Structure 1
Amino acid sequence: MKAGWAIKPLGEVCDVINGGTPKTGVIEYWEGPHQWLTPAEMGKRSTPYVAKTERSITDAGLQNSSARLLPPQSVILSSRAPIGHLVINTSPMATNQGCKGLVPGNNLDAKYLYYYLAGIVPLLNELGTGATFKELSGGKLKEVPVPVAPLPEQHRIGAILDKVFDGIATVKANAEKNLQNARALFESYLQSVFTERGEGLEETTLGKVCQFVGGSQPPKSVFEKVQTPDNIRLIQIRDYKSDKHIVFIPRNIAKRFCDAKDVMIGRYGPPLFQILRGLEGAYNVALMKAVPDTSKLSRDYLFYFLKHSDILQYVIYHSERAAGQIGVTKETLEPFPIALPHREMQEKLVAAISEVESETQRLESLCQQKLAALGDLKKSLLHQAFTGEL
C-alpha cells in the first residue's frame, strides 16, 4: 500500500442508501418524472454509466416505496438477484429494493469506487446471506474495507482503467463476434449438406428409417451419489454439459440404456431439441434415443442430420402449435423428410462434416481462451490498481 493511502470502511466514506418499490398496480406511482432502476436492467448495460432507465416513478411512488433519489455520480450496486451489477448514474435516480445506492463523500471519486467494487464482486457475494437467493445487507456493505488513495491518485487510476477497459471491451467484442461467426459458419455448412439434392437419393421419412425411444424416470428416492457394482449412471440432459450432478440408480430398475455413440435428443428446453451423445448409462424421461436402421442410415449421419437448422425450426414450429404438448415427441419427428445417399456417401459426408466441425471447435477454443485471458487481465489490473501498483 502506498504512503498516503488509508483503509476505511465503506460506510465511513459513502452514504449507503436502500432502494424500494411502491405497491404494484397503482397507476399514480409510475411514469413520473424520476428515473427508477432495477438489477435486471443493470445487467443489460455494457457501459458504466446510465443516464436513463426503462421505467420512471412519481413523487407519490417514491414516498410509498421509501426509496430516495440518488444524486448524479452515485455508484449503484445490485445487492440481490444477483449481487454485483454496477453502474454510475448521470442524472438523479431511484432504485428498487434489489439495489444499494452509494453516494461518495468529498474524498472519494465515483469512478474509483466503481472500479474498486468491480474487483471485489466475489467478496460481496460471500458477504451475502439467504437461502432462496443471496442478499447483501446495508450493514455488511458498510463494513467492506476500501483503500482510499489521495483524490489526484484516484482520478489517475480511474482514467487509466477507463482507457484500458475500453480497449479490453473492443477486443472482447471482436472475440465474441469471431466465436459467433465460427458457429454460424459450421451451421451454414451443415445446412448446405442436408438441403442440397443430388441424384441417387432415397426420399423417405425419419419414421421409416429410425425409431425414437423415450427414457424412463425412476423416483428421486432411489438416487445414489456413489457408484457401485449394483448401480448404473442415470443420464440427464444437464449431464452432457457438466459432471457436477452425477447420480446413479439401482441397475435392476433401469429400463432404457444408451452408450457413448448413441444419438440422444433432449426433449425439453431451453434450448429445445438438443442433439447429444458421449455418455453411457440409463437415460431418463427428458431424453429420447434415436435408433437408426443401420442398413440404410448410419448413426453418425443421423447425428449430424438432426443438428441442421431445418429440422430444428420444424420442431420449434410444431411444439409451439401443439396445445398441451410436453416436449419433443416421436410423433412430431417421424414424418420429417430425409433424403438418404448410399452408405458409402454417408461416410464421406460425415468425414467432411467432422473435419469442418473440428476446425470450428479449434477456433471456438481459441476465442474462449482469449475471452478467459481478458477476464484474467481485468482482475489483475484491478488488483494492481487498488494495491498501489498501477
Structure 2
Amino acid sequence: MNTGRTKAPLINFIEVNPRETIDKGHLSKKIGMDKLQPFCRDIQEYEIAEFNGGAKFRNSDTIMARITPCLENGKIAMVNVLDENEVGFGSTEYIVFRAKKGLTIPDFVYYLVSSSIVRNPAIKSMVGSSGRQRVQIDVVKNIEICFPSISEQFKIASILKALDDKIALNNKINNNLEQQAMALYENTFCTPSNIAMKHISLSDLMDYSGGSQPPASKFIFIKRDGYIRFVQIRDYDTDSHITYIPESAKNKLCEEHDIMIARYGASLGRICFGINGAYNVALAKVFPKKSYFREFLRCYLSSRTFYEGINNKGGRSAQAGFNQSDINSFELDFPIDEAIVQKFENTVAPMFEQRLQLRKENQRLASLRDTLLPKLMSGELDVSDIDL
C-alpha cells in the first residue's frame, strides 16, 4: 500500500558520500571493515588512527560496504561511536548515506539501505575483477524508491528499531556475563592465592576433533527436511549465507552447549557456541575429559594466554592451524583440589546458560526484523493506524 509515497531517485532524498573534512595525520576514530558485524546495526568497537584517507562520516550516518563479499555478507551499520560534531573515518570501500533534513530520518535511511530495495540493485551493479568487484555508486544514487512521509518513516523505523534495540541490550547483557565469568576465572585461577596448583598438559583436560568437508554437490542453500546446518568459520556466529547438508552425510556434529574453536586463518583460536549442526575442517569441537571441566575450559580457551599461545604455534603461515601436537604441548597450572573447579563450574554454568538463551532470543528477533523489513519498506504492511 503506497498511498502518499513519493517516487524519486535515492539521491533526491538521501545524501550519498557527503563532504566532510579531517586534516591529514589527525588522530581520529577509525571504523575498519573488520569492525562491522554481519547484519548488525550497531558498531561495537573502533580504533584511534591517523587519517590518511578513507570515507568520512558522522554519528547517525549509514555506512555500507561496496566491495564483494562484504556487502553480500551484510556489512552495513549505523555510526554510533562518535561524539557530537565529531567526524570519523573508515575504509575507502564504504558508501556513506545521510538523511536529508525534512525529507528523511537517519533510522529510516539505515533500514532502507539494509533492505533488498537498495542492497539487491547495489549487488547487481558490481563491476571489476573477480573477488574485487565494487558497487557502482551512480547506480545506487539513481535507484527509484517510493519514499513515505516523515511521519510514516518514523513509524516504520520505530518498529524495526525496537527489535534492534532489544538485540543490542541482549548483546550488552551477554558481554557483561562473559566479563563476569572471565573475571571470576582470573581471580580464582590466575592471581596469586593459597590454592595448591599442579603443572599439567592441556591434553589432560580435553580432547578435540576437527570437522570434515562433504562434497560441494551435497550443499543446498534453503533448509528442507532431512538437511542440517553446515557451519563454517565465515558464518559460525551469524545467520548469513547458511548452507545445509544431508543428515545422512558423514560429518562431525555439534550442539549448542559444545565449545567450538577455529583452527585456521584470521579467526585462529576464536571460540564460539550456540550452534546445532555439522562443522567443517576449519573448526574443532572440544571434549572435556570431565563434565565439570567445561566452563573452566571455555574460559581458559577464551583467555589471552591461550589465544597468544595458539597463534604463536598455529600461526606459522597464513593458512597454518593448530593440531593435536600443539594442544599436547600447551601447559598450564591447574588446582590439585578439583572441588575448586567443580565450584567454579556450578557458579559459571548458569551464566553461560543465560548467554545461550539471549543469543537464541536474538536470532528470533533478527528473523522477525528481517521478515518485517521488506514488507514495511514496500508499504505492504500499513502503519498509518499505529499510534507511537
Partner residue of 1:245 out of 243, 246, 271: 243
Q: Which residue of 1 aligns with 2:138?
A: 138
Task: State whether structure 2 residue 302 is matched by structure 1 residue 303.
Answer: no
The separation in 1 between residues aligned to 2:382 and 2:78, in whole angstroms, is 18
User: Kindly tell me: are residues 257 and 357 of structure 1, through their superposed partners in 2, closer, same or farther at Cα, counting changes over 3 Å?
Assistant: closer
Change (3 A) 1:340 1:249: same
Letter of the 2:121 partner, please give it: L
Preserved contact between residue 15 and residue 103 of structure 1 (Cα < 8 Å): yes
For 1:80, which of 54, 66, 87 is the aligned residue?
A: 66
The CA distance in 1 between the partners of 2:173 and 2:301, in whole Å, is 24
Q: Please tell me whether residue 118 in structure 1 is matched to residue 110 in structure 2.
A: yes
CA distance in 2, matches of 1:330, 1:372: 37
Provide Cα deviations, 1:166-220, integer angstroms capped at 9, x if missing partner. 9999998776544422221122223344446535x6543224x256455365563
Counterpart of 1:328 in 2: which secondary structure? coil
CA distance in 1, matches of 2:99, 2:348: 57
- What does residue range 93-172 of structure 1 map to in structure 2 within 5 Å? 99=95, 109=102, 112=104, 114=106, 116-121=108-113, 122=115, 123-130=117-124, 135=135, 138-139=138-139, 141-142=141-142, 143-147=144-148
SS in 1 for 2:321: coil
Change (3 A) 1:385 1:337: same
The unaligned stretches of length 5 or more in structure 1 are 21-29, 48-52, 58-74
Using the size of structure 2 for normalisation, the TM-score is 0.54
Q: Distance in 1 between matches of 2:161 and 2:238?
A: 33
Question: Would you say the 8 A contact 2:210–2:283 is kept in 1?
Answer: yes
Percentage of identical aligned residues: 15
Equivalent in the alignment of 1:215: 210
Q: Per-residue CA shift, 1:334-381, capped at 9, x if unaligned?
A: 23124255667655543343234335556x4699599979x89x9899
Deviation at 1:124, TM superposition (A): 1.5
Larger Rg: 1
- Aligned-CA RMSD value: 6.6
Shift of residue 39 of structure 1?
Answer: 9.8
TM-score when scaled to structure 1? 0.54
Question: Aligned pair count?
Answer: 337
User: Given that residues 199 and 331 in structure 2 are in contact (C-alpha distance below 8 angstroms), is that contact kept between their aligned partners in structure 1?
Assistant: no
Q: C-alpha separation between the residues in 1 aligned to 2:214 and 2:363?
A: 40
Superposed, 1:353-368 pairs within 5 Å as 353-359=348-354, 361=356, 364=358
Deviations 1:7-36, CA, capped at 9 Å, x for gaps: 24237956987899xxxxxxxxx959xxxx
Decide which of 299, 315, 333 is 2:306's aligned counterpart.
Answer: 315
CA distance in 2, matches of 1:194, 1:146: 58
Of residues 327, 343, 351 in structure 1, which corresponds to 2:346?
Answer: 351
Q: Which residue of 1 aligns with 2:46?
A: none
Greater shift after overlay, 131-140 or 325-334?
131-140
Structure 2, unaligned stretches of length 5 or more? 44-48, 54-60, 80-84
Corresponding position of 1:205: 201
Tell me the equivalent position of 1:182: 177
Q: Counterpart of 2:325? A: 331
Task: Output the CA distance in 2 between the equivalents of 1:177 and 1:115.
Answer: 21
Cα distance in 1 for partners of 2:225, 2:166 equals 48
Q: Is the 8 A contact 1:311 1:336 kept in 2?
A: no
Q: Counterpart of 1:7?
A: 6
